[in-house]
Chain A
């Protein structure tokens, strides 16, 4: 029983972390309908950026994540511009190629990381990594707690941004009715581009969390395709609060399976849940 309780607690922590890595996809795929299969690859790329800063200048990984955020914002603007010009604007047949485009981008990033950093696992150093708190029987690594706190803050911040600020509301408006926005005299493409930039910028912090929680390797993005899409689809496309709930469900499920059946079954959990959600309730928990 204690074992199970421990698994649930760790699962909740893990879940909030999953929310942080998925919340960008919730905007780019959930709100903007961009088939962003390269999202996890961007995430891993951010982790390597954080690793590089931490390794050569000994910057705290969270600060390093914050530092690369503007860079990722610009990267996101660029990525959306290319996607829009080549696929979205042309419509019809573009969907298939759009998916292939992001799939190709993901592979290019993966290989570039391998060429630059090699296939070995990389990790960062910080004072809070490696220690843990004991509560009687079970221990909670402090790195998990840090990731949990930052992830929760990040997700809530983005949720508030999207619901309270002018630009955030504009982003949600463009997701609801692009044509209406055009009639109001706004430029939907610029709003979407900005939103995609935000979604990518968030990955700077998320990437820092990824490498804080555990060492990263170049092909880690493959596992996160399942996790991030599982969370976003389960949440209901574009729902930020749903993202948090769905991510915690996934985290707890993974943690319990890990405890009861062992690590070799864990990678399949997110994908199995994703398939289940797609088959039973494609509109997600809090679907629009």
Chain B
């Protein structure tokens, strides 16, 4: 009964959120809030998606940028080849991201800890190099994108993208919440604490890791797909920028990865701080703030914001304590 009432509360909150976002796009005239809001929403989606593998399973993925860039370039290639609508681009990006996630999942067969992390950076660089040498999507110089006319009920493309990204956030959060409360999540937590012990007690570790990689990859790529339309431009060094990796990782760890709300909180807090700093000071300083916050939190508050707010999670995620 309790679980069901939790579910009702969750979906009610989701409905309220989506209605609020939709009415905001209808009421607010100024485009700037949507421009900034899109970036924050994008970071929420990335942080939540990252934590499915990095938080629940404990495999630190430095390759968020690989999935993000793959999402961007799937959308770009598809749009250039067929002029497919945004929804199709996002779906395709999710499928490609999932396939790549499967590949990354296979890497976890032989690699753990730092080796896995370095391997994911390697993957990102290799894919970026291929895209740089891929003429069809503009190579290293990048490619301009002409946005198609916007569809009703939206009166500007940015507002539509804002709404689309909000939907992606809802999907990411709903999936993360499902994973966390299901056998998958419990299995992932078990293998994070002790992979060998989990395997021995019958947890299908390989299957779970593959699932986590595929879900995480699909969600990150999907969140990246609209970026080309947002910027009206795509180039390999910004689509595959390592700062997406550090942002997703930092926001998830700062928020706390024991519960899906952690990455959401972390992304909202850091995302809005970054938007504020980027406008008032400089974009370098906001990376600095991100880095310092990350280091402070991993040193001082290992369970992140939710660990500080709710001591209960300290026990739940503490593993061996």
In the complex, A31→B41 CA distance in Å?
A: 42
Asked if B123 CB lies within 8 Å of chain A CBs, one says yes
Q: Is the CB of B121 within 8 A of A282?
A: no
The residue of chain B having its C-beta at the shortest distance from the C-beta of A225 within the complex is B121
Q: Is the CB of B246 within 8 A of A103?
A: yes
Q: How many of chain B's residues touch chain A, expressed as a range?
A: 35 or more
Q: Which stretch of A43-51, A104-112, A153-161 is in the interface? A: A104-112
Q: Is the CB of B115 within 8 A of A278?
A: yes
CB of A170, distance to nearest CB on chain B (Å): 24
CB of B95, distance to nearest CB on chain A (Å): 23
Contact of B126 among A97, A275, A278 (CB under 8 A): A275
Q: Is the CB of B292 within 8 A of A108?
A: yes
Q: Is the CB of A265 within 8 A of B129?
A: yes
Contact of B246 among A86, A107, A272, A279 (CB under 8 A): A107
Asked if A258 CB lies within 8 Å of chain B CBs, one says no
Q: Is the CB of B249 within 8 A of A222?
A: no
Q: Hey, which chain A residues are within 8 Å of B117, CB to CB?
A: 35, 37, 99
Q: Hey, which chain A residues are within 8 Å of B250, CB to CB?
A: 100, 104
Q: Is the CB of B129 within 8 A of A264?
A: yes
The residue of chain B having its C-beta at the shortest distance from the C-beta of A112 within the complex is B288
In the complex, A275→B123 CA distance in Å?
A: 8
Q: Hey, which chain A residues are within 8 Å of B320, CB to CB?
A: 92-93
Q: Hey, which chain B residues are within 8 Å of A37, CB to CB?
A: 114, 117-118
Q: Which stretch of B27-35, B203-211, B219-227, B293-301 is in the interface? A: B293-301
Identify which of residues 248-306 in chain B touch chain A, using a CB-to-CB cut-off of 8 Å. 249-250, 253, 284-285, 287-288, 290-292, 294-295, 298-299, 302
Q: Is the CB of A111 within 8 A of B298?
A: no
Q: Is the CB of B58 within 8 A of A103?
A: no
Q: How many of chain A's residues touch chain B, expressed as a range?
A: 35 or more
Q: Hey, which chain B residues are within 8 Å of A274, CB to CB?
A: 118-119, 122
Centre residue among A105, A110, A111 by max chain B CB count within 10 A = A111
Asked if B85 CB lies within 8 Å of chain A CBs, one says no
- A96-B60, A264-B132, A264-B140 are known contacts. Are A101 and B122 too (CB-CB below 8 A)? no
Asked if A115 CB lies within 8 Å of chain B CBs, one says yes
Asked if B319 CB lies within 8 Å of chain A CBs, one says yes
Q: Hey, which chain B residues are within 8 Å of A275, CB to CB?
A: 119, 122-123, 126
Identify which of residues 243-288 in chain A touch chain B, using a CB-to-CB cut-off of 8 Å. 264-265, 267-268, 271-272, 274-275, 278-279, 282
Q: Hey, which chain B residues are within 8 Å of A103, CB to CB?
A: 62, 246, 249, 294
Identify which of residues 79-123 in chain A touch chain B, using a CB-to-CB cut-off of 8 Å. 82, 86, 92-93, 95-97, 99-101, 103-105, 107-108, 110-112, 114-115
**B binding-site residues for A, Cβ under 8 Å:** 54, 58, 60, 62, 107, 110-111, 113-115, 117-119, 121-123, 125-126, 128-130, 132-133, 140, 193, 242, 246, 249-250, 253, 284-285, 287-288, 290-292, 294-295, 298-299, 302, 318-320
**A binding-site residues for B, Cβ under 8 Å:** 29, 35, 37, 82, 86, 92-93, 95-97, 99-101, 103-105, 107-108, 110-112, 114-115, 222, 225-226, 229, 233, 264-265, 267-268, 271-272, 274-275, 278-279, 282
**23 A–B contact pairs at CB < 8 A?**
A35-B113, A35-B117, A37-B117, A82-B299, A92-B193, A97-B253, A97-B302, A101-B295, A101-B298, A103-B246, A103-B249, A104-B250, A104-B292, A105-B295, A107-B246, A108-B291, A264-B132, A265-B129, A271-B126, A272-B122, A274-B122, A278-B110, A282-B115
A sample of 6 more A-B contacts (CB under 8 A), given A96-B60, A278-B107, is A97-B302, A100-B253, A107-B290, A108-B295, A272-B122, A275-B123
